[in-house]
Amino acid sequence: MEKDLFSQATADLRKAIIIGASSGIGKELAMILISKGYKVGITGRREELLKAMQETNPSMISYRSFDITDLSKTTRSIESLIKELGGLDLLVVSAGVGFITEDLDIGPQLETIATNVTAFTDIMSFGFIYFRKKKTGHLVGLTSIAALRGNKSAPSYNASKAYQVNYLEGLRQKARDLQLPIAVTDIRPGFVRTDMAKSDNLFWVASPEKAAGQIYKAIRKKKRVAYVTRRWWIYALLVRLAPRWMYERF
């Protein structure tokens, strides 16, 4: 299996896979990458949306429809996409879920963990191992500004994003120890106009198009950490500096 994945790699076009590209940021990022000369593999649960995207540019887009929480399908589907693309240079994990759980309903919390922690780990581990054998590559995770502190309304979501941030940092350290040019980029979006952003009390809300444009720039520069939109670094600084007694009043 590993020999097949590498033996089919071609050097003419860069190849990317975006996990979670049927809509929102993932979809917009896929369109940007294609315009920049990438062949792109897209994944998601809604096959009709993926198929519609693929039909707009069949020579540059491949897709696989699966639920990343079904771990029995994830690795096989990504491997299949790599073969169809002819290799892999960039792996982006854009898929994720989040719920307001004021009453600590266990169902949504466990779904958050299954998606944002377990499935995220499954995909990022696969990607790092693949790039380690290839001896180069770029991993990108869309975490969140929510990773910086806890939140009483969505404790499992914020905790899951903190896990992602630390996991990506660990992979970055591992790449350094191996002395391999494997870039690891942590994208921390603020509020973006997607299905997950449903509250009426949001600020600095970006369009998916604007967010994807800034994400592409961070990928191109191989940044370690990038806030999207860029102004969110101000919020991040204030939140980090806020003493615990003050933050817990909110």
Is residue 194 within 8 A of residue 23, CB to CB? The reply is yes
3-state secondary structure 167-188: HHHHHHHHHHHHCCCEEEEEEE
Distance in angstroms (rounded) separating the CA atoms of residues 122 and 249? 36
Across the chain, where does the E strand assignment appear? 14-19, 38-44, 61-65, 90-93, 137-142, 182-189, 225-228
Closest to 86 measured CA to CA, from 6, 8, 1, 3: 8
Distance in angstroms (rounded) separating the CA atoms of residues 222 and 216? 10
Positive or negative CA dihedral for 109, 162, 171, 24? positive
Q: Say which amino acid occupies 103.
A: D
Q: Looking at the chain, how many residues does it have? A: 250
| Three-point CA angle 24, 28, 31, nearest 5° | 150
Token pair for 203 = 């600020």
Per annotation, catalytic residue among 63, 157, 167, 227: 157
Token pair for 179 = 């002395």
63 catalytically annotated? no
The set of catalytic residues is 157
